[in-house]
Structure 1
Amino acid sequence: MMIIRYCVFALFMGLSGIGAESSTKQKPLVLVSVPPQAYFVRAIAGDSVEVRSVVPADVSPETYEPKPSQARAFMQAAVFFGVGMSYEASLQARLASTNRALLYVDLAHRVLDHDRHDEHTHTKVDSSTHAHDPHIWLSLKLAKPKAQAMYERLCAINPAYKDSYAKNLAALFARIDRIQRDLGAILKEQKGRAFLVIHPAFGYLAQEFGLEEIALEEDGKEIKLKALNRLPKIVEQKRIRTLFIQPQFDKERAESIAKTLGLNVEILDSLNENWEESLYAFAHKIKEQ
């Protein structure tokens, strides 16, 4: 894996001159780590910028490796909004010498309280701990400070649109407040309820609405036999009837586990680019499980 990674970035380095083609007439290119972040960029900047996600919607960001075909985008981008995925740090370090104008903004570090970053703990079948949860886009509590950080950087790269961005940001804040109220009403009777997922992406929402996320996987690693052996007791104790799976992970494996446990299978897409839609889908499916 390390050999592949270095080969990829060696190619990035070799293509460092590509960015010279970029025209001043082009819209600033904004890169985001995962698709849902594009929702925020568009909500604030509209069509005044071009936005692309580094990780495709059908791939797990925990195990993603940037492709050589993405080199041109990295050479031309003005800013890269990350969330603290493991691939971001190594990518940023190597890009520093190929596109010095590209600013990497780790939104996780911008919005999380470093002294309390483990507050959003998950319930895991595995006993290991999760030092950092990068799924900050699946948090309503963090949505406003994240949007504020993005707004500030977008204003810096496109200052002529500052007033327009400020109005859009205010509208986005109002939308976040509405979503918060709506989800609170939908999940009002669900406090204390546990839900079972393959991958631990919904821990922030679980904490914010008094739910308990039980995750089988951690950091993209395969589910351990020890964890599977403990599942029947947990499912019975928590009165779990549904296993939620994500499109980016092994569907056959998940369905096999669900069949063994007598559970229904439902899809929750944590990488849906329509952030608002994904939050409402989460709330309704948790209520109906």
Structure 2
Amino acid sequence: MLSFKIRHLTVLSLALTLIAAGCNSNKTPSNAESAAPASSGSTEPTAAGTEVKAGKLDIKVSFYPMYEFTKNIAGDLADVETLIPAGVEPHDWEPTAQDMAEISAADMLVYNGAGMEGWAQQVIGSASGTPLIAVEASKGLNIMEGVEEEEEDHTGAEDDHAPEEGEHTDEEGGHTDEGHDHGGLDPHVWLAPSLAIKEVQTITAALSAASPENASTFKSNSDAYVAKLEQLDRDFKEGLKDTKRKDFITQHAAFGYLAKEYGLTQVPIAGLSPEQEPSAAQMAGIVEFAKAHDVKTIFFETLVSSSVADTVAREIGAKTAVLNPIEGLTDEDRSSNLDYLSIMRKNLEALKTALNE
């Protein structure tokens, strides 16, 4: 499967090569086009200090949280478009040749990194020679080891190893990631508001360097949004500090950063990928843990089937509830005008209810 994906991306990169010349002719030249090509972004954009153009920036973002953060910073000063369609599980998505051409023609690509977008480095490498600025929002954060399916023991012990900055990187400073297994890393940093703040600040710095004439507006917008995230962080700390229990069972191991930031223990049924299916022995282990700890709620998530969580809940006489990893918005979310902040507040209420049963 992995070799197929690599071949698939190779074909796409060849297609991009044929398209690149036409794409570049429509772009405003960058002052740094003769400098090093784009790689991973950080608090300094890939092409450090690059001024893209006056007026609106054309920004592509990988999936919903990156859209939310970038749009709140950029406001009306950029056209921000999400690559992964609404309702599609980001772990399953790969870019088409058209997607790659659009990325190459854009001024900036904002992606989470830490292995979330297994396609990112291939696509960015294929865009070499264009003025594309690639911004890895999680760059500089301590990225935790992921919980892989075969390594789960369901004892309630969370692997708190947080590698030092620079660990698990390739020679260019980018996170190594292949396929959809995240390279063994947990990319779900946006689910801890305190870390979402840092991602917002990284994106803000990149936008300000790309369009310095708008830097003061970007900073003002960013400060206003960060203030909302800081309040959300305070609400999580206050709401979860005195709960009756500290462990919660999830279908997908997406909440390790949230658990660590707020003194909780995530007990996942499956690993980092929501597609992983637990073995019979692992299912028996999670049922045993749930019974021993009198767990009354099993959490599942949007965008994937809840069948595994339903099975565990039936076995122990518990109920199920949503804990949303915010990897994309559902039709119901959009019709209810939900966003990152409101969904995170729903997550907080769900956790408070389950942890105080």
**TM-score, normalised on structure 2?**
0.70
Partners of 2:25 and 2:111 lie apart in 1 by 25
66, 81, 93: which one pairs with 1:37? 66
Maintained 8 Å contact 2:59/2:80? yes
Partner of 2:194, secondary structure, is: coil
Q: Which residue of 1 aligns with 2:47?
A: none
Identity %: 23
Note the aligned Cα RMSD (angstroms).
2.9
Q: 2:240: which partner in 1?
A: 187
Aligned to 1:29, the other structure's residue is in SS state strand
Partner of 2:43: none
Q: Quote the residue 1:167 is aligned against.
A: 220
8 A Cα contact 2:287 2:315, kept in partner = no
**Contact conserved, 1:122 with 1:213, CA < 8 A, in 2?**
no
1:49 aligns with 2:78: yes
Matching residue of 1:208: 261
Question: What displacement does 1:85 show?
Answer: 5.3
Once the two structures are TM-superposed, the CA of residue 278 in structure 1 deviates from its matched residue by 2.0
Note if 1:140 corresponds to 2:201.
Answer: no
Bigger mean CA deviation after superposition, 45-54 or 17-26: 17-26
C-alpha distance in 2, partners of 1:237/1:124? 21
Q: Does 1:104 align with 2:134?
A: yes
Tell me how far 1:236 sits from its aligned partner. Answer: 1.4
Kindly provide the amino acid, as one letter, of the partner of residue 237 in structure 1: A
Q: C-alpha offsets along residues 51-94 of structure 1, whole Å, 9 cap, x if unaligned? A: 22233342332333223342342122222222225474644334
1:282 and 2:347 aligned = yes
TM-score (norm 1): 0.85
When residues 6 and 96 of structure 1 are mapped into structure 2, their CA distance, relative to the original with a 3 A threshold, is closer
Aligned position for 2:99: 70
Per the alignment, in what secondary structure is the counterpart of residue 244 of structure 1?
Answer: strand
**Alignment deviations for residues 123-172 of structure 1 (CA, whole Å, 9 cap, x no partner):** 98843878421111112222232211111111122222111111112212
**Counterpart residue number, 1:11:** 15
Aligned equivalents of 1:55, 1:85: Cα separation in 2 = 17
- Aligned 8 A contact 1:62 1:85 in 2: no
How many equivalent pairs are there? 284
Structure 1: distance between partners of 2:290 and 2:150: 11
Deviation at 1:97, TM superposition (A): 3.8
What amino acid is aligned across from residue 161 of structure 1 in structure 2?
Answer: N
268-277 or 29-38: which moved more? 268-277
1:18·1:72 contact (CA, 8 Å) conserved in 2? no
**C-alpha contact 2:251 2:301 (8 A) present in aligned 1:** yes
Shift of 1:206: 1.1
Asked if 2 retains the 8 angstrom alpha-carbon contact of 1:195 and 1:213, the reply is yes
What CA deviation, in whole Å up to 9, does each residue of 1:74-117 have, x standing for no partner? 1222222222254746443344343521122222232x13xxx4
- The 1:164/1:26 distance shift into structure 2, 3 A limit, reads closer
Partner of 1:189, secondary structure, is coil
Equivalent residue for 2:152?
127
Distance 1:107 1:191 in 2: 35
Deviation digits for residues 1-59 of structure 1 (CA, Å, limit 9, x no counterpart): 32334334433334324524646697322222220121111221112112222333423
- The answer to whether the 8 Å contact 2:109/2:132 transfers is yes
Shift of 1:186: 2.3
From 292, 311, 316, the equivalent of 1:261 is 316
Separation in 1, partners of 2:261, 2:217: 31
Q: 1:173 to 1:5 in 2, by over 3 A?
A: same
Q: Deviations over 1:224-272 (max 9, x none)?
A: 3331121111101232212211222223344334323333122222125
Aligned partners of 1:276 and 1:26: how far apart in 2?
A: 29
Query: Gaps spanning 5+ residues in structure 2: where?
Result: 29-53, 154-158, 160-182, 330-338
The one-letter amino acid paired with 2:281 is K
